[in-house]
Amino acid sequence: MVKAVVGANWGDEGKGKITDMMAADADIIVRFQGGANAGHTIVNNYGKFALHTLPSGVFYNHTTSIIGNGVALNIPVLMNEIHSIEEKGVPAPHILVSDRAQIVMPYHILFDQYEEERLGKASFGSTKSGIAPFYSDKYAKVGYQVQELFDEELLKEKVVRTCDQKNVLLEHLYHKPLLKPEDILATLHEYRDMIAPYVCDTSAYLWNAIKENKTILLEGQLGTLKDPDHGIYPMVTSSSTLAPYGCIGAGIPAQELKQVVTVCKAYSSAVGAGAFVSEIFGDEADELRRRGGDGGEFGATTGRPRRMGWFDCVASKYGCRMQGTTDVAFTVVDVLGYLDEIPVCVGYEIDGEVTTDFPVTSKLEKAKPVLKTLPGWKSDIRGIKKYEDLPENCRKYIEFIEKEIGFPITMVSNGPGRDDIIYR
Ligand code: GDP
């Protein structure tokens, strides 16, 4: 059975925690898109970890972790992550890397920086991990698949072509040092030796696993609103964040995907630029940021403060719909326990009209939030295991949101740990 864990919002919904928890009953966990630009924070018996490339299942002995073909594979980052978790005593994980995954090249990271510099005020707020230049090259058909590392003749010829093309931009657009084919070739040889032990045809591996009735978890990065087609374009990421894309990015038949757990956060947060209708500012935002997540709402990769907002029913309803949600995992509900009243965004007012349908970006920029205020529960709900034991106002908040978004909330997360979960 194939399941996906994906985000309904702008990312940082707590997918890492939900995947880590669901991985207890899974055989294989697959990353299918994105790269080292975002990260998951996971708290478990071994400590606290920020993973960028490895799937969240690496902490179990019984699981295989796969980096699928859809991922932007940064080989040195992957190696560092493997070493860092082994250093903290996690048993050596079983990791497979798709021979069709493409490689983030050092010049992708440079181009990401140079372009953000060039754009200045109009920059995207990129994490400068090379993701946009990487996917541009992939779809311009000038990227490097992992399998190409093992074809020396091809590589030698290809790095020359790469340098010819990239150096035009480096010289004339960015005025930066030029690339040398021999340097790139040497780097690719290092990459080849590092990655060789992990490479295989992961789609064949997954197909066999499906036939053997294994449980496969597809782990998404970011959330619906960062999808390049369905998100807040152009302030999006460069690969699809949607569960159906998980089938492409892992290489499995689409009809095998049976469960989509969409992780939805009890308030909003976002990183980077772009419209954020329910955003809050000042002390109100600072307090939520400080209390949020596990130790505050700061980026797992960059450490930068996240933008904060109230729960957005319009964005989340759309976010769940586009994922093909079967289950909603509603997270960080415990964080809201300090509020007397909790505002929720229930509609967008655009040019004097109120809508509950998530609009295209040009309209989104004009949207003002329509807020409804619900009573808070003013208590700490961590440690509660049964839904009935939650304070009445907390249940009312959850049920109100479930009705607004129109998808069943089957899991409520009330703390960062694996066991902080209430099933409904
Ligand atoms: P991801 O990228 O979607 O996995 O999100 P993050 O890595 O940003 O995770 C969100 C943060 O919230 C992490 O620090 C988690 O440990 C933490 N977290 C996840 N679920 C909960 C929850 O229910 N309550 C609290 N307080 N923290 C949580």
DSSP string over 221-242: -S-GGG-TTTSSTTSS-SS--S
Burial 269-280 (b: 16+ CB within 10 A, else e): bbbbebbbbbbb
Beta bridge partners, 328, equal 262, 409
Q: What's residue 301's pLDDT?
A: 64
Reported as type and span, the H/E element at residue 202 is helix 202-211
Asked if 135 and 239 count as a contact pair (C-beta separation under 8 A), the reply is yes
Alpha carbon distances (Å) from 344 to 271, 310, 375: 20, 6, 11
- Sequence-separated contacts (24+) of 298-302 with Cβ below 8 Å: 299/12, 299/39, 299/127, 299/271, 300/12, 300/38, 300/39, 300/40, 300/41, 300/50, 300/52, 301/36, 301/37, 301/38, 301/39, 301/50, 301/52, 301/127, 301/129, 302/127, 302/271
The pLDDT of 292-317, averaged and rounded, is: 89
Domain residue spans of the chain: 2-87+203-423, 102-197
Torsion, CA 2, CA 330, CA 7, CA 3, rounded to 10: 0
Superfamily of domain 2-87+203-423: Adenylosuccinate Synthetase, subunit A, domain 3 (3.90.170.10)
The whole-chain average pLDDT of the chain stands at 94
pLDDT at 39 over 90: no
pLDDT at 5 over 90: yes
What one-character-per-residue DSSP string does 40-90 give?
Answer: EEEEETTEEEEESSS-GGGG-SS-EEEE-TTSEE-HHHHHHHHHHHHHTTP
pLDDT at 347 over 90: yes
The distance in angstroms from the start CA to the end CA of the chain is: 22
* pLDDT level of residue 226 (50, 70, 90 thresholds): very high
Q: Is the full-model pTM beyond 0.85?
A: yes
pLDDT at 110 over 70: yes
Q: Which residue has 């319009």 as its token pair?
A: 314
- Burial of 340 (C-beta count, 10 Å sphere; 0-12/13-18/19+): exposed
The pLDDT of 244-254, averaged and rounded, is: 97
Measure the CA–CA gap between 416 and 42, rounded to whole angstroms.
Answer: 8
The pLDDT of 377-389, averaged and rounded, is: 97
Q: Which residue has 């249940």 as its token pair?
A: 395
Find all residues with CB under 8 Å of 58, minimum gap 6, and list them. Answer: 29, 51, 65, 85, 90, 93, 95
As assigned by CATH, the class of the 102-197 domain is mainly alpha
Residue 17 Cα, ligand 1 centroid: separation in angstroms? 6
Q: What's residue 59's pLDDT?
A: 85
Q: What's residue 154's pLDDT?
A: 96
Burial 386-406 (b: 16+ CB within 10 A, else e): eeeebbebbbebbebbbebbe
Residue 172 Cα, ligand 1 centroid: separation in angstroms? 44
Residue nearest to atom 28 of ligand 1 (CA): 416
Q: What's residue 332's pLDDT?
A: 97
Confirm or reject: Cβ of 293 under 6 Å from ligand 1.
yes
Residue 333 Cα, ligand 1 centroid: separation in angstroms? 11
* pLDDT level of residue 304 (50, 70, 90 thresholds): confident
The pLDDT of 216-242, averaged and rounded, is: 96
Question: Which of 297-306, 342-351, 383-392 shows the lowest per-residue confidence on average (mean pLDDT)?
Answer: 297-306
Q: What's residue 236's pLDDT?
A: 93
Q: Which of 191, 205, 11, 175 is nearest to 94 (CA)?
A: 205
* pLDDT level of residue 414 (50, 70, 90 thresholds): very high
Query: Is it true that 2-87+203-423 and 102-197 share their CATH fold?
Result: no
Measure the CA–CA gap between 171 and 169, rounded to whole angstroms.
Answer: 5
CA 40 to chain centre: 8
Find all residues with CB under 8 Å of 158, minimum gap 6, and list them. Answer: 144, 148
Q: What's residue 91's pLDDT?
A: 86
Residues 144-173: pLDDT tens digits?
Answer: 999 999 999 999 999 999 999 999 999 999
Q: What's residue 229's pLDDT?
A: 98
Active site residues: 12, 40
The amino acid sitting at 399 is E
The amino acid sitting at 317 is K
Confirm or reject: Cβ of 246 under 6 Å from ligand 1.
no
The amino acid sitting at 14 is G
Q: What's residue 200's pLDDT?
A: 97
Find all residues with CB under 8 Å of 61, minimum gap 6, and list them. Answer: 91
The pLDDT of 128-135, averaged and rounded, is: 93
pLDDT at 102 over 90: yes
pLDDT above 70: percentage of residues in the chain: 99
Residue 42 Cα, ligand 1 centroid: separation in angstroms? 7
- Residue whose CB lies within 8 A of the most ligand 1 atoms, among 294, 302, 334, for a mutation test: 294
pLDDT at 136 over 70: yes
The pLDDT of 19-29, averaged and rounded, is: 93
Alpha carbon distances (Å) from 74 to 12, 57, 131, 305: 21, 19, 10, 25
* Bigger pLDDT: 42 vs 403: 403
Q: What's residue 250's pLDDT?
A: 98
* pLDDT level of residue 300 (50, 70, 90 thresholds): low
The pLDDT of 130-153, averaged and rounded, is: 97
Measure the CA–CA gap between 186 and 189, rounded to whole angstroms.
Answer: 5
pLDDT above 90: percentage of residues in the chain: 83
Question: Which of 37-41, 75-79, 117-121, 290-294 shows the lowest per-residue confidence on average (mean pLDDT)?
Answer: 37-41
pLDDT at 93 over 70: yes
Q: What's residue 49's pLDDT?
A: 82
Confirm or reject: Cβ of 15 under 6 Å from ligand 1.
yes
Residues 181-213: pLDDT tens digits?
Answer: 999 999 999 999 999 999 999 999 999 999 999
pLDDT at 44 over 80: no
Asked if 398 and 410 count as a contact pair (C-beta separation under 8 A), the reply is no
For residue 37, give both structure tokens: 């630009």
* Bigger pLDDT: 360 vs 125: 360
The pLDDT of 290-300, averaged and rounded, is: 86
Measure the CA–CA gap between 330 and 231, rounded to whole angstroms.
Answer: 20
The pLDDT of 255-284, averaged and rounded, is: 95
